[in-house]
């Protein structure tokens, strides 16, 4: 006895919701069998929709697999539409007056903002010996050197200029910035400076993206020479970042080895960002797709837009949000992808950092390489803040924000 249409429709929707529909092309779908391990082919033709399942072959009509395919794409008719739609590339306007004003004043404003940012650094107490140059002044010179992209000796004139302007009291030796980067205790300080330098735009950013990008070092990995066909290869460091999609500010960062996995960094980055920002949405590519990352996003009040891998299933597995977003991804693909594609802005962030400050790290010491990369991000964030001062009228007050 044939099942009623109501029963078929219910079963078809259940198949779709379970993620058992795979689109091959605009007219062909693979539907997983509910009674075995095989698949049935649903094809949409000018004469109607067909399926290779026994129910359709022997009885015809609308089998549950056809209903699942129709429900998947919300098809209104059996025949494919003849209407051709042209994709229009979305473009964004640039506030050129604000951009031009910020660019013209950036070199003058950068050291002033950097000086204000570094006030938060606590100096160690000195009880004996000659007065030392303050850590914040050495760090001022180190970050300014990274910003300028000059060599240590050529950057020394910048240190002298800063002394004349009252931004620092004493110009350190030209090698002082390099020696400072060699110290491991500078790493947490620079990481905190990255976070603090982003806070002035907290009122503008509620949508964030997580991604990673590589920076080449000047050191090389081990190799056996031409005899074994292996070539000399640079070591790479990976910058895992959580960045705002409106201003492209870097809210948090984690530096890892070039071969490290991306997904484990999602949690620390999102949690750190949530300390200073309200996160409404967080997007990331498929490499971050996991139930744990979904739960982390939910814990900070964010809706995650992370595409599912082809072999993913809807089973919650301890994450109700995983199941909810899986159904949303399957049944509202276009709407989901509209949110997800905000992630493209973090690619612009990566490109801007490398274009402005280079993708090669000049330091040779591993600790110095990490600190140099963090200094690049601090410098980049300050340039973003300068731009937002002119475009959105923000007034950075780093000392107040650090409290």
Q: Which two tokens stand for residue 278?
A: 């309200």
CB atoms within 10 A of CB 6: 8
CA–CA separation, 375 vs 379, rounded Å?
Answer: 6
By the 10 Å C-beta count (0-12 exposed, 13-18 middle, 19+ buried), 224 is classed as exposed
- Supply the pTM of this predicted model: 0.74
> Residue with structure tokens 């938060």?
120
Record the tokens describing residue 77, joined without a space: 């008719």
Half-sphere exposure of 403 (CA within 13 A, CB side): 3
Compute the mean pLDDT over every residue in the chain, rounded to the nearest whole number. Answer: 85
Q: Please say whether the beta carbons of 228 and 248 come within 8 A.
A: no
| One-character DSSP codes across 22-40 | EEEETTEEEEE-SSSS-EE
- Encoded tokens for 388: 């937002």
β 28-32/21-25 pair status:
antiparallel
For CATH 3.30.420.10, list the domain ranges present in the chain.
185-400
CB neighbours of 75 closer than 8 A, spacing ≥ 6? 44, 69
Q: If you average pLDDT over residues 273-300, what whole number do you get?
A: 95
What is the model's pLDDT at position 316? 85
Half-sphere exposure of 223 (CA within 13 A, CB side): 14
Query: pLDDT tens-digit profile of 211-245?
Result: 999 999 876 554 444 444 556 666 889 999 999 99
Which letter, b or e, does each residue of 85-105 get, where b requires 16 or more Cβ atoms within 10 Å of its Cβ? eeeeeeeeeeeeebeebbeee
| CB-based burial, 64-82: b 16+ in 10 Å, e otherwise | bbbbbbbbbeebeeeeeee
pLDDT digits (tens, 9 = 90+) for 339-387: 998 888 899 999 999 999 999 999 999 999 999 999 999 999 999 999 9
Answer yes or no: is pLDDT of 401 > 60: no
CATH superfamily placement of domain 185-400: Ribonuclease H-like superfamily/Ribonuclease H (3.30.420.10)
How many C-beta atoms lie closer than 10 Å to residue 118's C-beta?
A: 23
Beta bridge partners of 49: 44
């Amino acid at each position: 006895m044939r099942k009623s249409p109501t029963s078929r429709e219910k079963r078809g929707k259940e198949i779709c919701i379970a993620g058992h529909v795979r689109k091959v092309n605009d007219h062909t779908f693979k539907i997983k069998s509910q009674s075995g391990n095989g698949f049935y082919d649903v094809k949409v033709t000018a004469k109607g929709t067909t399926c290779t399942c026994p129910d359709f072959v022997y009885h015809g009509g609308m089998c549950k697999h056809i209903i699942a395919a129709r429900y998947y794409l919300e098809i209104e008719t059996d025949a494919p539409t003849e209407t051709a739609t042209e994709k229009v590339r979305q473009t964004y306007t640039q506030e050129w007056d604000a951009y031009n004003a910020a660019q013209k004043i950036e070199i003058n404003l950068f050291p002033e903002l950097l000086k204000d940012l570094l006030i938060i650094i606590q100096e160690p107490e000195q009880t004996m010996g000659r007065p030392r140059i303050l850590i914040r002044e050495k760090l001022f010179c180190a970050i300014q050197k990274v910003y300028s992209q000059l060599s240590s000796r050529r950057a020394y004139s910048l240190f002298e200029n800063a002394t004349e302007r009252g931004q620092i009291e004493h110009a350190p030796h030209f090698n002082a910035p390099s020696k400072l980067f060699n110290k491991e205790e500078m790493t947490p300080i620079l990481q905190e400076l990255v976070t603090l330098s982003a806070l002035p735009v907290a009122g503008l950013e509620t949508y964030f993206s997580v991604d990673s990008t590589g920076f080449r070092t000047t050191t090389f990995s081990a190799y056996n020479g031409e005899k074994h066909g292996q070539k000399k290869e640079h070591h790479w460091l990976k910058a895992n970042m959580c960045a705002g999609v409106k201003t492209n500010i870097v809210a948090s960062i984690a530096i890892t080895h070039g071969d490290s996995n991306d997904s484990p960094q999602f949690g620390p980055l999102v949690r750190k960002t949530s300390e200073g920002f309200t996160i409404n949405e967080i997007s990331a590519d498929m490499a971050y797709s996991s139930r744990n990352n979904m739960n982390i996003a939910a814990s900070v009040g964010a809706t995650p837009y992370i595409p599912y891998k082809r072999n993913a299933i809807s089973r919650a597995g301890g994450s109700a949000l995983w199941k909810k977003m899986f159904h949303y991804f399957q049944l509202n693909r276009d709407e989901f992808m509209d949110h997800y594609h905000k992630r493209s802005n973090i690619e612009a962030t990566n490109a801007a950092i490398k274009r402005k400050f280079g993708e090669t790290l000049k330091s040779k010491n591993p600790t110095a390489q990490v600190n140099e990369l963090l200094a690049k991000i601090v410098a980049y964030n300050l340039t973003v803040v300068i731009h937002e001062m002119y475009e959105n009228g923000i007034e950075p007050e780093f000392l107040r924000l650090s409290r």
